[in-house]
């Protein structure tokens, strides 16, 4: 590895750490910056190789520990964002020689043997799986305990309820609801951060002419393998249990539910192509998701339906 690549990897790791360190210090204004922490690592991995991405991930965690003095802060960044970003960037850079079609027809004039790149559906599956594993691992490492967190959340709700319009019974109910949603929402947000970060990182790397992978047509190529449906079904079934098993199942539901939502949104983009009102349909759909949130469930179902439909159709037939 050349010195210039090592320097770029270290700079990318430092940039990721600076974006994330505000969250370690519990600064509310730095939450938005923390969401962009994986992007420099994606850029390093996609543009300068998998080793550069891994070095950037390690440097990012080390810089956070050095700035904050908290080892847990470095672990939080490394497990949740840095390492998954380096792995996803590595997967996006994998390619092999494309298989030649079994046909006796002559090849087109000027045709060159191409490469078969790692499919987007497997990258999305890996992101969802890493998000779930990161949330489960961090929950175990940080000691996630509903009984311990509930009094703190109730105190925060009491402080925000300065007018006294909500009594203690209602505050207890709201705190219980929030705690029950944490194992579901947290992995979903992490899957969203990593997937969008990979897209933005690939866009920046492509603009700088450093991305060897050609642009994927995501509206038509973004799917999920059948095993994702099985994992999601196991998560749904386990959510009816109690205790740690329920929390692990909710983590799986959150991570893979967001992945299926991406597939559903990709189908929306694909089916609205060529329509005169496409811009309006996309604007209304994303505005409804942003304002109301529950339309996400519709696109999750659409993503599940797409996976079931492709399973029934079987593997594509080669001519």
Backbone angles phi, psi at 213, to 5 degrees: -75, 130
Q: What is the pLDDT of residue 149?
A: 72
> Cα dist. 118→57, 207, 214, 228, 250 in Å?
22, 21, 11, 17, 29
Structure tokens at 63: 């810089």
pTM above 0.85, yes or no: yes
Structure tokens at 245: 């098993």
Q: What is the pLDDT of residue 109?
A: 41
- pLDDT tens-place values along the chain, 319 residues long: 688 889 999 999 999 999 888 776 666 556 778 889 999 999 999 999 999 999 999 999 999 999 988 898 889 999 999 999 999 999 999 988 876 655 444 544 433 457 889 999 999 999 999 999 999 998 888 877 766 777 777 777 777 665 566 776 777 777 777 787 888 999 999 999 999 999 999 999 999 989 999 999 999 999 999 999 999 999 999 988 888 898 999 999 999 999 999 999 999 999 999 888 889 999 999 999 888 888 889 999 999 999 999 888 766 554 4
**70: nearest Cα among 24, 138, 137, 15:** 24
Q: What is the pLDDT of residue 243?
A: 81
Q: What is the pLDDT of residue 26?
A: 61
Q: Are 146 and 179 in contact (CB under 8 A)?
A: yes
The 3-state secondary structure of the chain reads: CCHHHHHHHHHHHHHHHHHHHHHHCCCHHHHHHHHCCHHHHHHHHHHHCHHHHHHHHHHHHHHHHHHHCCHHHHHHHHHHHHHHHHHHHHHHCCEEECCCCCCCCCCCCCCCCCEEECCHHHHHHHHHHHHHHHHHHHHHHHCCCHHHHHHHHHHHHHHHCCCCCCCHHHHHHHHHHHHHHHHHHHHHHHHHHHHHHHHHHHHHHHHCCCCCCCCCCHHHHCCCCHHHHHHHHHHHHHCCCCCHHHHHHHHHHHHHHHHHHHHHHHHHHHHCCCCCCHHHHHHHHHHHHHHHCCHHHHHHHHHHHHHHHHHHHCCCCCC
- The two beta strands, 95-97 and 115-117, are antiparallel
Q: Are 41 and 84 in contact (CB under 8 A)?
A: no
Cα 282 from Cα 302, distance rounded (Å): 15
Q: Are 300 and 260 in contact (CB under 8 A)?
A: yes
């Amino acid at each position: 590895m050349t010195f210039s690549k090592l320097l770029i990897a270290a700079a990318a790791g430092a940039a990721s750490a600076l974006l994330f360190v505000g969250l370690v210090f519990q600064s509310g204004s730095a939450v938005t910056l923390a969401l962009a922490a994986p992007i420099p690592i994606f850029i390093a991995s996609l543009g300068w190789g998998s080793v550069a991405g891994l070095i950037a991930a390690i440097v990012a965690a080390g810089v956070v520990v050095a700035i904050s003095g908290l080892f847990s802060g470095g672990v939080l960044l490394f497990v949740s964002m840095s390492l998954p970003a380096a792995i996803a960037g590595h997967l996006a850079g994998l390619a092999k020689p494309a298989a030649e079609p079994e046909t006796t027809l002559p090849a087109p004039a000027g045709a060159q043997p191409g490469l078969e790149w790692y499919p987007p559906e497997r990258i999305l599956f890996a992101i969802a799986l890493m998000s779930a594993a990161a949330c489960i691992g961090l929950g175990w490492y940080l000691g996630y305990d509903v009984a311990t967190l509930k009094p703190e959340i109730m105190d925060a709700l009491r402080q925000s309820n300065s007018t006294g319009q909500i009594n203690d019974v209602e505050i207890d109910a709201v705190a219980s609801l929030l705690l029950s949603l944490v194992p579901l929402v947290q992995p979903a947000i992490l899957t969203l951060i990593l997937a969008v970060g990979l897209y933005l990182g690939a866009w920046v790397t492509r603009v700088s002419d450093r991305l060897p992978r050609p642009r994927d047509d995501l509206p038509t190529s973004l799917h999920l393998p059948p095993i994702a449906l099985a994992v999601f079904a196991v998560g749904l079934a386990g959510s009816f249990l109690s205790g740690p098993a329920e929390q692990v199942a909710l983590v799986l539901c959150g991570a893979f539910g967001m992945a299926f939502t991406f597939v559903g949104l990709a189908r929306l983009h694909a089916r609205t192509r060529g329509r005169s009102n496409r811009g309006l349909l996309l604007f209304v759909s994303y505005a409804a998701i942003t304002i109301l949130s529950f339309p996400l469930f519709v696109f999750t179902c659409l993503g599940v339906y797409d996976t079931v439909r492709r399973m029934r159709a079987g593997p594509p037939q080669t001519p």
